[in-house]
Chain A
Amino acid sequence: DAGITQSPRHKVTETGTPVTLRCHQTENHRYMYWYRQDPGHGLRLIHYSYGVKDTDKGEVSDGYSVSRSKTEDFLLTLESATSSQTSVYFCAISESSSNYGYTFGSGTRLTVV
């Protein structure tokens, strides 16, 4: 019972194509986050959600959009994938405010060729 699952785990796509990554939770947590992790940069926030249809931008949101139509699902879309978006993407959930810690998914490794 992972509580949070990401799909797909791995994806290779071509430059210019749209890509959607999915994060699904079974914890009914209010907050959901998308991060990317790159060597030397740690985890950088792309977008986050604090409720259904309530989302906000993070520090590296250019080229990405998100949607949250249900509590359990948070989708990250790369409108037109570029090589600079090759990265490992992590989804995280939080029950309350950020003081209480995040539970992370296992990540999606995306390669844009």
Chain B
Amino acid sequence: TQLLEQSPQFLSIQEGENLTVYCNSSSVFSSLQWYRQEPGEGPVLLVTVVTGGEVKKLKRLTFQFGDARKDSSLHITAAQPGDTGLYLCAGSSGSARQLTFGSGTQLTVLP
């Protein structure tokens, strides 16, 4: 069973601060995805990274896939209250037909 560990589990910061969320595993993934989930809704896909060392940017969000494809990070610059939500990473082993999800990071950005 492949496991994905996310840290921190909870994060509360002030508007304007920067933050980084981590997603780590001992397993190699063929791709890794990040989702954001708001209360009462399903997760929404933010990005997919597939190449070791890959960096993708989505406005103030920067996603990186580790060189060995075992870990990933999400960095948010100048966080805003609208960034509040549960951030989930999910990995695919390629041969598997399903994703393995991390337990999530609950982010709260205070105005």
Chain A contacts to B: CB under 8 angstroms: 31, 33, 35, 40-45, 48, 50, 56, 58-59, 90, 92, 97-107
Contact = CB atoms under 8 A, between A and B. Distances in A.
Contacts of A105: 42
Contacts of B92: 97-99
Q: Chain B: interface secondary structure? A: loop
B42 A42 contact: no
A27 to B, nearest CB: 14
Contacts, number: 59
Nearest to B30: A99
B103 A101 contact: no
22 contacts: A40-B103, A41-B103, A42-B101, A43-B88, A43-B90, A44-B101, A45-B98, A50-B97, A97-B92, A97-B94, A98-B31, A98-B92, A99-B30, A99-B92, A101-B33, A102-B43, A102-B45, A102-B99, A104-B42, A104-B44, A106-B40, A107-B42
Interface in B1-34: 1, 30-31, 33
In which size bucket is the chain B interface? Answer: 20 to 34
Given A43-B88, A99-B30, A99-B50, A92 B96 contact: no
